[in-house]
Structure 1
Amino acid sequence: MPRIQLRLTPRGHLLLEEAVDAPSLDDKVAARLAEAFGRGTGYGLLQLGAGEIGQSLPPAFIWWRDFTVRYVEAVCLHGSGGGGEGPSAAFLSAMAPPAEAELATFVLTAPMMPGAEYLTADMLRGLWVNLSTAFTASVRAAGTDLQAFLRTLNPAWNLIGRVHFNLAENRRDPEWPFAFLATYTTRLSAQAKAQHVPLGQALREYAGAANRDKLLSLLVPVQRAAEHFGWLKAMVDAGEIFHPLRWSPAEAARLLNSVPDLESAGVIVRLPAYWREGRPSRPQVTATVGARPPSGTGLDALLDFHMDVTLEGEALTAKEMATLLAGTETLVLLRGQWVEIDRPRLDRAMRRFKEVQDLAEQEGLTFAEAMRLLAGTEATGDEEPAAAAEWSQITAGAWLTETLTALRNPDGAGVDPGPALKGRLRPYQKAGVEWLHLLSGLGLGACLADDMGLGKTIQVLSLLLIQKRKGAARKPSLLVAPASLLANWAAEIERFAPGLNARIVHPSAMSAEDLNQMAAEGLANLDLVITSYGSLLRLPVLGATSWRFVVLDEAQAIKNPNAKQTRAAKALQAESRIALTGTPVENHLGDLWSIFDFINPGLLGSAKEFGRTTKALAERPHNPYGPLRDLVRPYILRRMKTDNTVITDLPDKTEVKALCPLSRKQAALYAKTVADLTEALQDAEGIRRKGIVLATLMRLKQICNHPSQWLNDGKWAEADSGKWARLREIAEVVAARQEKMLVFTQFREMTAPLAAYLGRIFGRPGLVLHGDTPVKNRRALVRTFQEDETVPFFVLSLKAGGSGLTLTAASHVVHFDRWWNPAVENQATDRAFRIGQMNNVLVHKFVCQGTVEEKIDALIEAKKGLSDDLLAGGDEINLTEMKDEDLLRMVTLDLKSVMAE
């Protein structure tokens, strides 16, 4: 069985694609959907909603099917009836989308799926239009009437003359307090409401042989339902279905319990209007948790718990409870209204809540247990959470409500790092710091999942500065990051928080002897210790130290729960844990569990318990993962560049330095090249010396890119290049966000290896443009990149693609190797950052630390007014004219900071 998923793109297209971790589909269903989605999103939705009705499908498919069913039902209920040819194609094209509130509800109940973060009411409105266009075209192409067309998709659709079973109260007759009437729809009112007439009128209206087929067609849903219900078959056989009937409470309850199967057969059931959501009121076992502040902190903090049995929010008296529990009828008249009761379920819910209340009074209810109960993911004995929720409800008390509100809607007004922060926090960053501060103060973990470029680093540094200013019971904090990012953190600390006493504990910054002799006492006076994931395995002192915070950068590194570095990270001792990631972990259940097992161990249960819970949730017909989303939402903060509340406060273009270490192979080749230069300069003068310097600089830049570029060995191994590894880290985030990126290099020979490498990361090919690309092909390449959402990246040589092109589909620009000319680089960046760009542009400038690249970059930053050609003709600097000792100092390798792990 193929593994297929639906992916929503940033532009609002719904794509069907294979994925290793996607759910499996029946072969025939998958084939039909693949053919339909191959024609376009509208046709795919039409097949999913109208053609796959009744099929067992994964939650995301069911949700999109429900969306389409809403459209088809609108056609059914609003089209012309009475046995005609159905709505015209023009009418179908004009079908109005649902109201804003209904679209908002659809968005809120969306399941976890790739691209869920892009889902908006406007996007659904656009998909509604696509669906209407495909529907109209399909009806026209079929060459038949609407009813016949829908029958080819699924015979369950019977759009003309829908039969309704109507149940109403009959308060004037205590012995027969309900009335039943079967009706059918004939036409639409001016308000687009279905008009009903008694089903018995069909016998008169369709009398005679000429109308026999119309009558049979009208009664098909009733006949189909009668095959499943003996009581209905008896009514049909006796002709009672065509007349109004007086019913007892037992007969009304029988209809009520038959509603799902009746509607599946095509019969619409209409119940008394004041029965909310199609059912009479039910008594509920209700509980309040967290009315008072807890004792203790963290997931083990103890909360209070109190239960009642209520009806419409009001507690029932003991006498009323006795009345409900004493009878045998499903429908009972209480407080002047009909109440539905399932005595066994109500009794189970009462016993279950009583057990929880007794536990809370004797031992206390932990914060983790309370949150699982509140979200509806806690075990409920033999019943599934959805079934138990129908008869029980848990709400947050005053303290917990206030806390959860603050966590879900931080405003940034409550915390301030003060003058120690050498920078300005934007409003959303202040909110992020407040959120981190509140969670850590409660002893709870947090996952800061802001988009790349929104400033997760400065938010964490602000939190550390706030803790330092408090000064109480000071402990050091630990930051764990990929080795390639250690220098970036050091640079950001120097820039934004120079007052933090931070140390990089890693072979790139400390000698092996110092690392081996390091003890916990030596870390006590530090504010922050920075290390790599690999070092966790090699330095036992990190695991033996008690930390204030443990922060994991690029926390997707622990998504594999069985990996050694994951187990080492989860074994760290801390008062509070923070995970930083730019990828949408909420769309991948396995990653979600592993990260939460780090930040809040036990909140989602063990891996096996989590698997059982998600399996049970997936079986829910609507909004299956709503309880899980509610459970994790307080601990995940995710802001996106596409969010208007964020984008209006950001610069249009953000430039970041991507500091890259060298691999051992790169370091060896680099050192050898510097030695060769030292020897060659001893007797070189004039033009020959200038040529040696330029050739050496070019060779060093090639080695910094990848040893295979200099050696020309064709290997291009990822482990051989620090830039290769850094590019993967960035590209994986871009891929997860379904964004696009431009990658510039000054070397034509680098474009093909880069494209092949990125193709493996994104899982599909991109585009390449360099000097040998025919001019006539360039326009087509640009158009493809701009319009085709399946093309994720464009690799360009700087000279060929750095000017004259409009590539605003990209929101990321990578300068893989530096031209050392700011004007040329900026011109290339402006391929994406120009008129027509709707998103912020994040520019990544790759610099190999400890090399000539880093030193030239420092010169560029110090002298913004450099000439257009840094290496030849500039007044401020000319490397070819430097003295030998200055030149060698410029290119000499800094071995401490250069090595990758």
Structure 2
Amino acid sequence: MPEMHPYSLEPGQLSYVVRDLVKTSFGGAAPSLNTTTIDLVVPSSEDAPLPSPWLKKSLFGKSHQVKDMVMGSWRVNAVHLPPPIALKWLVSVKIPRATQRFAYGESIQFWKEAANLVFYSLIHGTYQPVLEKVDHQIRAHWLLNSKILSNQLENMQKRLPTCCSAEWNSDGARRTKESIIRDFFDTSIDHLVRHVAGPGAMEAFAGGRSQRKRKKQNPLDSLTLPLLKALYSKQNSFSAARDVQTAFVALVSNWLGSSTQGSNRLWQTCFTVLPPEIGNAKIEDLDPRARVWRVVFSLQNIKDPSQHIYAQEIWENLVPTQTGGESLPEKFLRDLGRALPHMPELREVLDEQYPTHVDLSTEEVYAFLADQAPHLQSADFGVVLPNWWKKESKPLTTKISIDSSAFESNGMLGFDSMVNFSWKAAVGGKPISDEAFQKMVKHKMALLPIDGQWVEIRSEDLITAVNFFKDRDTRGEMTLREAVQMGLKSEDLKSVFQDVSFDYEGSLAQLFENEEEKLPAIEQPATLVGQLRPYQVRGLSWLIFNDHLGFGACLADDMGLGKTIQLLSLILKEREEGSVRLNSTPTLLVCPMSVVTNWYREAAKFTPSLRVLIHHGANRHGSETFFKVYNAYDLIITTYHLVNRDSEMFGEIKWHRIALDEAQNIKNPSAQQTQAILKTDSDRRIALTGTPVENKLSELWSIMEFLNPGYLGSLKNFQSRFAVPIERQGDRKKAQLLRRLTQPFILRRLKTDKNIIQDLPEKNEMKVYCSLTDEQAAMYQGYVQQQLNQIENAEGIHRNQLVLTTLMKLKQICNHPSHFLGDGSEVDERSGKLMRLTEMLEEALAEGDKSLIFTQFTQMGEILKSFLGEKFEEEILFMHGGISQQQRQVLVDRFQDPKGPKVFILTVKTGGTGLNLTAATHVFHFDRWWNPAVENQATDRAFRIGQKRNVQVHKLITTGTLEDRIDMMIEKKKELAENIVGSDEAWLTQLSTDALRDILTLSLNEG
């Protein structure tokens, strides 16, 4: 006997849990349940069972492979759910269950789908009676008609979760997937027919019988009622819907009638499809309206389906026409009339005296194969289909071919250039000609002759293609932007174009291959002071290649890989080669205020021959002076704020190039500074950013709209086509398509990739969990209760404001009571997080290491600066929004000095981008920003080129609080797309009050 599973609940506990789960399906009344034991065969190690891969993936985000795994037998306690309870619960259960007490496994979702299909079968009559004689008694069962639902059953067998087939039978034999599925369906259907359709149908049939007696005695009546009684039980019955009862009566009547037809019961009318000979025929030579398919009539032997009596033989008296009961001609003609509702084309042959067959067009025969044949089979007709039917169903795939070679010249290409386009199609991977494709779409041909045999196209593919090309040409000439948009619009369709691809020719082919190694080799500028790394040379080559073609490009190298020097090298290369006239307009560089000085210094250091002007500050040129001098410079540096403020002045110039540093600053398409930049005129555009997507995909659209206007369509269309499916539904195909579309114009390289850079040390990230002090815990609980009461009664914007205020205040409590109260009170020993930070800083300082501390709040930074300065008797640097640009550079220089202060506190917004702080080897995130991209930006102040030592990143989290819960939510959201979690804390305002309560409430077990 197998050993007891170590994780199996005790019978009493298990019964309580299951009763609690199912009682809501029974109006709150918990049904009585019986416990039992079963033997399961599950993956195990030598001495213990292993957790399921599904559970591991749900908890940890990935499955873990285990070495030396064996299949072991274990005994577990189980609850037996009778069909009434199981079915009623399965169809009403909500998945996923909104509770932290239970997690439904994948098997529950599977059986829920199966239960819904059972009810479908009941309503549509896809079941049949089976009688057997046992001990001189008739026993009856209602079973699923597997012929009608064969596709669904086969699909369910393929998707049956492994855990569902773990049970042994009593004799020790493993059950097959087919038997598991069939047992569930047969048991459920038998129960439903007996207890739902049976009693009502019995009464309906009895009523009909009384009426028949008044008209004419039916010889079947003597058999009907006894058989009906054998087919259902009155126990626990309840009335069914009238359509269910009617379907039930019709099914029983037809079955009883056909079972008493004497020896003619051995024969059924059959329809055999004979395809036309196609030889080497091509699609374009085929007339889809010609009636070349033949459906031949016959009587088929039920016991030996290969035996046929063809209609021609019957009419020519080549076979006996009387086999008992009624003659074969009578049966044959009666059956053709009975088949007419399922096959309207029979009407034209029923008028003939001796019907033998019906001829159909390709379109008509497809309707017969796809729709009519299953109905005929369910009505007890035989159907003989071609061997290739359903076995050779092929997907229709398409690609749009875009050829620019005929329009290319020495000038820039760009999205407004003309290209030739044509749609190319393939069926089952075999290309078909343009003529064949157009004919297939025009005539809705779902059956095609390919390589000497008939092939079926999936109907949904054909419908999609027909709809898409209804008002479009399959070939022609248009701008590159229009051609790409045509391909993009195809992605809104359901099936054909889910795998749409672009086939580029000419220079476009090289661009869209997006392989750095295949780009023309470029030497670094001769007058560049310094040596570019190999990947930086490739980046420069890539920028030049896109520039020459007239496409905007986003250099999205990881922070610290040297985007600055690559752009400066591009400008310098142009000047050296004379591709830019000395008196042409300069490149306008737009960057955050915090890095203006850094850009000026980097240009002076690496490209001293470039003429650089800073347009910033109170002493900047006015428009009159600016227009006189700007042409004398190669590079003009300004800020996002000033582009908006001086938009009229900048807008009067057609710039040689506009370059955006930290391009995520235009992530909001409707912001004024974004609109001002989009309106500024330029032939060339470059974006520099380490995070092209910080929070949501609309930010990527905004950057692409700046680089190549109109390429991804309107923002509204982009949201429906990409953002919603990817962000909310996790649509991987859409994500892959978006990646393919944007990849030619985004060069993304990570500094953790050893193929890019080998001499960068490691970054070690760790979460540091801290407990609240008793004072913090009491303050936290009180504030949560107070705020939740208000939030529950609030609506709209007021509710959102309450939620955001609550989140901010709870963060402050987790930081320090003095931060929340703002009373300047005593600091020491009152915050678990501050005590842990102090301990870790003490170790870092003892080792001589320098540290960065990031906080969201200026007030908390002041508290830290004062407390840590007194604690360690060290100078503590602090950068916040009130520090001027000149003062910021002084702070950075002092920290970078080996003899300078060892602790630098920064607010995330002020110090999170553009700074080089490689002197630090420790980064502390004192309070979390809840936006992984922003946190990574801050961390990368230290983890960048120039860093010689490993960087330790410490993220402080108070256990049991909202910090802990939201951190877990963010970890799950990372799987959707690159750091897509919503805009800061704003995404939390949309949660329900119950969900907020779960997040905000302090867990006493953890806190």
Q: Please report the TM-score for the alignment, with normalisation by the length of structure 2.
A: 0.44
Q: Which has the higher contact order (CA 8 A, sep 6+)?
A: 1
Q: Please report the TM-score for the alignment, with normalisation by the length of structure 1.
A: 0.49
